Amino acid sequence: MPEKTRYINAGGKLLDLEIPKVMGILNITPDSFYKGSRYNTDEDVLRTAVRMMEEGADILDVGGYSSRPGAVDISPEEEGNRVLKSIRLISRELPDAIISVDTFRAEVAREAIVECGALMINDISGGDADSEMFSVVEKLNVPYIMMHMNGDPRTMQDNPVYEDVVADILKWFGERIFKLQSVGVKDIIIDPGFGFGKTVDHNFELLRRLGDFSIAGLPLLIGVSRKSMIWKTLRITADEALNGTSVLNAVALANGADILRVHDVKEAVQTVKLIQKIKSEV
């Protein structure tokens, strides 16, 4: 089994994953599933980015395309209009911030990196939605978060089926990791894609067997923040799912997660500190 990559180089800024990192979610959309993560003005975006950094966020993930189940498709132009201005603003006002652009479109990713100050790409389709994405990642030589999604946001929850959810996703990753590494891409982060073409049972199976993903030898990002696996199980709403999020984040960290992608940065940073304390006393 390969030793897991410890460092991620984001534009010359090294992320040491010996201590798990926290990625704060900034959705520049009107219809994200959790209304508390929607930011539609420059003032809202910058104020939230500043607060997340003060609370301990290591990465800010800025997206302009809602990927909730059944989301309405928007054009690349509309996505770019939403997200690129915000990335420029954050990059200018918070020059120390490590910004990730959350997009599956190669041209939006390229412009965010080259023109606007983003340092990472977070692709929910793992390169499947745009055949040019891997080429952009290769040419720009930036960290690439590759998420697994079964289908697309409009159809992904229409009866998703796996022979073995963990084994099937690992095989899917393996093919794409080989393609990227064969052209010299070094900083790859994998994300199993909780809630993206998975049932609630699939999601909990992934969480139980998270350690199996260590076979890839790559950093592991987990995004369970306020997702339906929590609120459907507890029969609550996304607004009420912070406690459940912290519980599942703690389980993910104990099972090998390296990055937590969250709406609530302060609570995630606290979770990381507590789990690290437990591990340091062993």
Q: Which residues are catalytic?
A: 227, 261
Distance CA 61, CA 49 (A): 10
Query: Is the separation of the CB atoms in 269 and 249 below 8 Å?
Result: no
Hey, is 121 helix, strand or coil?
strand
Query: Is the separation of the CB atoms in 64 and 79 below 8 Å?
Result: yes
If residue 260 lies in a helix (H) or strand (E), which one and from where to where?
strand 259-262
Which amino acid, 272? V
Distance CA 105, CA 124 (A): 10
- Give the residue carrying structure tokens 């591990």: 279
Query: Is the separation of the CB atoms in 235 and 272 below 8 Å?
Result: no
Burial of 87 (0-12, 13-18, 19+ CB in 10 A): buried
Find residue 164's DSSP bridge partners: none
